[in-house]
Amino acid sequence: MQVVPDLRSILGDTPWVLVGGLALRAFMPERMTPVVDILIHERDTNTAREAFLRAGYRQIGTLTIGGFTVQAAGASEPPVDVLTRDDAWLDSALAVPTADPAGLPVLARPYLVLLKLQAGRTQDLADVQRLLARTPSSERAEIRGLVQLEQPELTEDFDSLCTLADLEFGPPESNSQQ
């Protein structure tokens, strides 16, 4: 597993979750990535930035999608991209994270799929396909409902990625095997 800085100590009570390639390790083998991507609520931006600065990090960039990048002094750890959003669903998502094998909080699968569909980059869509591989039909229905509620224009993309996941990885698990 890729090394992740001690974000719990750095961020304290500020809610955060892993997203990006490292988040996948809660559901499948992780995808190696040169940065650690986390998601926080936009209202916590200044608190998080100050916490990283107090911990010896320096801000090395601003993300065009909202947020900033920090790097530990000495650069022995990977940079951390701190994505900030204010979506209506975000408080709910931060309240019920999934744990990865190291016990770190990860954005739960329905919200991770939604976030990656919204990003729409090639790698994100490939991640969605892998996240949907063999996912039980009942969970797929839950995710589809979330997509339909939050971003109805992405529902057709979601359905297409379900089909592609089934073609590449086989059909979803039956609900009785959960």
What gap in Å lies between CA 81 and CA 172, rounded to an integer? 33
Burial category of 112 from C-beta neighbours within 10 Å (exposed 0-12, middle 13-18, buried 19 and up) = buried
Residue with tokens 């971003």: 151
* Architecture of the structural domain at 1-107: 2-Layer Sandwich (3.30)
User: What's the confidence (pLDDT) of residue 44?
Assistant: 98
Question: Can you say how many angstroms the Cα of residue 74 is from the centroid of all Cα atoms in its chain?
Answer: 27
Distances in whole angstroms, Cα of residue 85 to Cα of each of 28, 66, 115, 139, 172: 25, 7, 10, 25, 31
Three-class DSSP category at 115: helix
User: What's the confidence (pLDDT) of residue 176?
Assistant: 46
Q: Which sequence spans correspond to the domains of the chain?
A: 1-107, 108-178
- Hey, what are 59's tokens? 């801000």
User: What's the confidence (pLDDT) of residue 64?
Assistant: 92
User: What's the confidence (pLDDT) of residue 120?
Assistant: 93
pTM: 0.91
Query: DSSP E strands: which ranges in 73-165?
Result: 80-85, 98-99, 105-106
- φ, ψ (nearest 5 deg) of residue 68: -155, 165
Mean pLDDT, the chain cut into blocks of 10 residues (178 residues total): 87 96 88 90 98 95 95 85 96 96 95 96 94 93 97 97 95 63
Nearest C-alpha neighbor of 116 from the set 80, 76, 157, 148: 157
